[in-house]
Structure 1
Amino acid sequence: MRHLPTGRPKSLPRIQAEVWPRESAKERDTRLERQAAVKKMFLRCWDSYKRFAWSHDELTPLTGSHHNPFGGWGATLVDSLDTLLIMGLNDEFAVAARAAAKIDFSKTTLGRVNVFETTIRYLGGFLAAYDLSGDQNMLRKAREVGDMLYVAFDTPNRMPIARWDPEAAVKLSPQQAPERTLVAEIGSLCMEFTRLSLITGDPKWFDATERIREALEDQQESTLMPGIWPISVDAKHLDFTQDYTFSLGAMADSVFEYLPKMTALLGGLVPCYETMYKSAMNVALKHMLFRPMTPDNADIRMSGILHMDEENGEIVHTLETSGQHLVCFAGGMFTVGGKLFKDAEHLIAGQKLTEGCIWAYNATKSGIMPETFTMAACRDADDCTWSEQEWQRGVLKEAGQNQADLFKAEDIITEEALPPGFTRVGDSRYILRPEAIESVFILYRATARKDLLDTAWQMFEAIEEHTSTAMGNAAIADVMLRDGTTAKLDSMESFWLGETLKYFYLIFSEPSLISLDEYVFNTEAHPFRRLLR
């Protein structure tokens, strides 16, 4: 059994800005008006959830019904518990907490349970609700979920089953970790499991994820791109080195996000998290971040996807110069890491990545960033001047067309409504994601930059304009507005109330509300109390 670290937590550097500019009465009134608008939007969605989808996972905001993709255990209910507390909706929290305490995790609408999603939403939601309220029922439910998830680790090598069959486990069927699983799904359980162990004093959950951390650390320098893990790993044979694709985005994101956050959560008592973070991010800084060519020559960064290939017996790498709304979390990650570890290069990267996502929001007709897209990378990140023809050639390359046919590029740009700089939009949806405002919020708390408040409000207004429905907010099909409008989708994921609106609310709050020097957010935006000196 790996025991919890002991000793006095270290005095880590502050994450939040130490000096905040003086706020005029007018500025305060504006900030509070904006905060009230966010709360009003939350309450409209929450009231509809109570009316049409209570105790179910998600509200369908167009038809006024419900959807159960996360076990049917009330994902929106649990994801929203800490948001209710943060917004001062204590009576609503009391009602929600009583309902959440009655959730029966022995029954599920799914044949297989996604261990990662259950951990970040349910276990994380109950732990944060307990940390903010002290409600013992929330801790009891956290332990109940933790005990259930612990059984997914009952395999010969103690690696968890990412898509776990609880009914088979009840029948004592043999369990084995999968040969192919996403690195994020096994490497991003440590914050929730560790916090549960810290609160209860029972080290079994810490032990479970510490074994994964040890395997990640042991193999970190043995991958095809030493220092960073690929998006797919073999948990059955405990081999994290064979896949050829590397990314900070989908399928890998939170395994990197949790490295500096675990340092904060444990008060620096497990120093290898810092070492692992620095090794991985050194690779990312060198090989995965790129400066896109933009009409305003903006000094911004995006994070692409690194592909390894074999040519003439040697491994070579190429960077797919893509962008993802999901990878917008990276700006906040670099900012937190830069602050905690006093690394100026990481702070600059955090700022430029966050401003890259802001740029992408501002570039579209809707004012909202698409789910996925590509851009042409600057050949020299320090000297990059906009070239219309270079952009057009990039558009043709992405379309698989002759790069000399620039007239064809103009047709593609018009047909796809591509803003200058974008070479392709692979997925034009906005599914109410939080990652961009998450990094804007973290950068604001870390720097006290007033301009970020106006940035956040502009993002909020664009989202409100295009996603609002009579019953809540809906994902939209096309942020590019190819035909001048966008179709709404009958989907409102639980992270809309659990993450996106929480971050919008917090950026317009006093900096002391959920201070980043006292709390650390899991990847579902659930704040856990840090170990402090």
Structure 2
Amino acid sequence: MGRALSPRFLVAILAFLLVVFYLWPSNKDTPPVIKITKSSFDWSTVQPYHDPSPLTKPPSGVPRRLPRIQYPFPKSSKRFSDTAQAARRDAVKQTFQRNWKSYRKFAWMKDELTPLTAGSKNTFGGWAATLVDSLDTLWIMDLRTEFWEAVEAVAKIDWAVTNETSCNMFETTIRHLGGLLAAYELSGAAVLLEKAVELGDMLYAGFDTPNRMPAFWLDFRKAKNGDLLADSHVASASPGSLSLEFTRLSQITGDPKYYDATSRITELLYGSQNATKLPGMWPTFFNMRDSDLTEHSSFTLGALADSLYEYLPKMYALLGGLDRKYESMFLTAADTIKKHMLYRPMTQTNEDILFSGNVDVGWEVTLNPEGQHLGCFTGGMFALAGRLFDREDHVETGGKLARGCAWAYQAFPTGIMPEIFSMVHCETLAGCEWDENRWRREVSKDSQGFISLPKGFRNARDPSYILRPEAIESVFLLYRITGLEEYQMAAWDMFMAIEQATHTEYGNAAISSVTTTGVPIQRDSMESFWLAETLKYFYLIFSPPDLISLDDWVFNTEAHPLRIPKP
């Protein structure tokens, strides 16, 4: 007959089991084995018609120790365990879940949900843009069940199956390639990297032109036959905003071809920066076919050019500070931007805020004080660069730009700023006194006597709101960089206003005008960046700061976090 176990031995066994229970990885953090369904055409087998050799490799060496970017939040700070912040974070998450549930039910594997009619549409090749774009948001919000279901679906995407004859290089890179890379870095799911490489090889074919400059549209037939050409008139943001994603793909895979492809654009930018009609900045449009970035005379930080500038400090960070060209290009551009493009609006209380306008160069440099919601990213850009390059004046400028966009939200009846607007501006950035008569004259001139605009605004040329993220992006970045709680307060006001104006039974919808005092007219449109960017930034600003720390991650222009190499 066996001997009975001693009480001490039983206690030891129980202790061991408890340790195993608490330390063993939970199922939600252990990647399931998901096999890839390979695309029906393998772009890696297409040999370049225009020889790219020798290939430029990413900078070698130990990454520099970058300056601290995030504010040194105390770990025991009450604000992160505060029930109010948790409630706000949960409110954002609930909005995301409502949208995701509808996408899953009505638009699964399509590019977008139509939030009024509970339907779907394809706008980016039919490769499930909202699904791919939302992967990292699912992970960040700890929606693991939904995340792994989405990964299973992504594993089956066939990049060769589309009703389109071409794809937009810029949009496919920032939404799909950026989304896959970020989700891979967060989760470690190998299938996501495999799909990213498949897509990267397809997009790499878009660089196979006589001068190795990318086409705006990747025409599949022309790319396979060697007939692809770069464009003679293309928005500067398109070739200028591919570098983060292609660089990170090279860093992860060790294949230099992706980095080489975009490094050629960097060299062209660097060599032409001071030869443009507004030295220090690049024009809104490029002639990539002739490798000429200097012939046009309009300049902006808004639509068509925006992320070209955004990627300069971010590339510096992603390369671990090993390529100082990005620092030089940003600081040179920033001087020109401050001198010619930023303006302080005339307001009733002389608010110390800034906006960015547009510039045309003829006999002289002319500022058009037209602002864009899209241009609201500039606050975060300046603040981030200010930390990276030890320029406190840029952090201060970034704060004024971010507060300007938050102020514009509060100015309109819906609590949301318009897509495109113009303001009466002061002659200098030092400010000016309110002049009621001047404002009325300029509003009348711009708006045919329509005076029901907030004071200080000349017009709202495009009064719509399409669920854009740029304002909350900068508010989030300024909060993480400065630690000022005013940005959290502004973010909550913005979120509540957006939710009230855009909420539908099935999701959230773009609205036709932010100027209405009644119920806004909604449009049957919900772009993928609503889930990929806007709600992600709202969620993160109410979350503990170690969740996607700015010292460890850099966001691409679609809010996909890419890991910064460390020394």
Q: Structures share a fold, TM > 0.5?
A: yes
2:489 is equivalent to residue 454 of structure 1:
yes
Whole-Å separation in 2 of the counterparts to 1:26 and 1:68:
39
Instruction: Show the counterpart of 1:328.
Output: 376
3-state DSSP class of the match of 1:365?
coil
The answer to whether 1:252 aligns with 2:305 is: yes
**Secondary structure, aligned partner of 1:351:** helix
Is 2:391 the counterpart of 1:340?
no
Distance 1:108 1:168 in 2: 16
| Alpha carbons 1:373, 1:426 under 8 Å: kept | yes
CA deviations on 1:422-444 (whole Å, 9 max, x unpaired) are 10101011000000000000000
Partner of 1:476 in structure 2?
Answer: 511
Per the alignment, residue 181 of structure 1 pairs with 234
1:368 matches 2:422? no
Cross-structure match for 1:57: 111
Cα drift, residue 20 of structure 1: 4.3
Which residue in 2 is equivalent to 1:129? 183
Task: Summarize deviations over 1:187-236 as a string: whole Å, max 9, x none.
Answer: 10000000000000000000000000000101111000011100101000
- CA RMSD of the aligned region, Å? 1.3
Compute the displacement of 1:486 (Å). Answer: 1.2
1:182 Cα deviation from its structure 2 partner? 0.8
| Conserved 8 A contact 2:208-2:226 | no
Please tell me the residue identity of whatever aligns with 1:185. Answer: S
Indicate whether 1:298 and 2:351 are aligned.
Answer: yes
Of the three residues 185, 189, 205, the one matched with 2:258 is 205
Corresponding residue SS for 1:333: helix
Deviation, structure 1 residue 21: 9.1
> What's the CA shift for 1:176?
1.0
1:319 aligns with 2:354: no
Aligned to 1:406: none
Q: Residue 450 of structure 2 aligns to a residue in which SS?
A: helix
Taking the aligned partners of 1:412 and 1:305, their CA distance within structure 2 comes to 24
Residues 372, 425 of structure 1: 8 Å contact kept = yes
Aligned to 1:405: none
The code of the aligned residue for 1:478 comes to S
1:334 CA displacement: 0.2
Residue identity matched to 1:142:
A
Whole-angstrom CA distance in 2 between matches of 1:129 and 1:380: 45
* 2:524 pairs with 1:490: yes
Matches within 5 A, 1:81-100: 81-100=135-154
Structure 2 residue 488 is matched with structure 1 residue 434: no
Decide whether the 8 Å contact of 1:176 with 1:236 is kept in 2: yes
Residue pair 2:110, 2:126 contacting (<8 A) in 1 also: yes
Runs of at least 5 residues in structure 2 that lack an aligned partner in the other structure: 1-54
Matched residue, 1:506: 540
* Letter paired with 2:300: S
In structure 2, C-alpha distance between the alignment counterparts of 1:225 and 1:66, rounded to whole Å: 44
Letter in 2 for 1:489: R
Q: 1:229 aligns with which of 274, 282, 287?
A: 282
Q: Is this contact kept in 1: 2:80–2:543, CA < 8 A?
A: no
* TM-score, normalised via structure 2 length: 0.89
Could you tell me how far apart the structure 2 residues matched to 1:165 and 1:503 are? 34
Q: Residue 389 of structure 1 corresponds to which residue in structure 2? A: 437
Distance (whole Å) between structure 2 residues aligned to residue 304 and residue 366 of structure 1? 23
CA contact (8 A) 2:80 2:544 kept: no
CA distance in 1, matches of 2:431, 2:463: 30
How far did residue 26 of structure 1 move? 9.8
1:25 to 1:456, Cα distance in 2 relative to 1, 3 A: closer
Which of 555, 560, 565 lines up with 1:521 in the alignment?
555
Q: Which has the larger radius of gyration?
A: 2
Q: In 2 relative to 1, CA 125–174 (structure 1 residues): closer, same or farther, beyond 3 Å? A: same
Q: Distance in 2 between matches of 1:21 and 1:319?
A: 45
The residue number in structure 1 matching 2:244 is 191
Stretches of structure 1 lacking an aligned partner (at least 5 in a row): 310-314, 402-410
Question: Could you say if the C-alpha distance between residues 397 and 27 of structure 1 is closer, same or farther in structure 2, counting changes exceeding 3 Å?
Answer: farther
Whether contact under 8 Å (2:208, 2:223) holds in the other structure is: no
TM score, norm. by length of structure 1: 0.95
Q: Give aligned pairs, total.
A: 513
Sequence identity percentage: 53
1:72 alignment partner, one of 105, 108, 126: 126
Q: How far 1:289 moved relative to its partner? A: 0.2
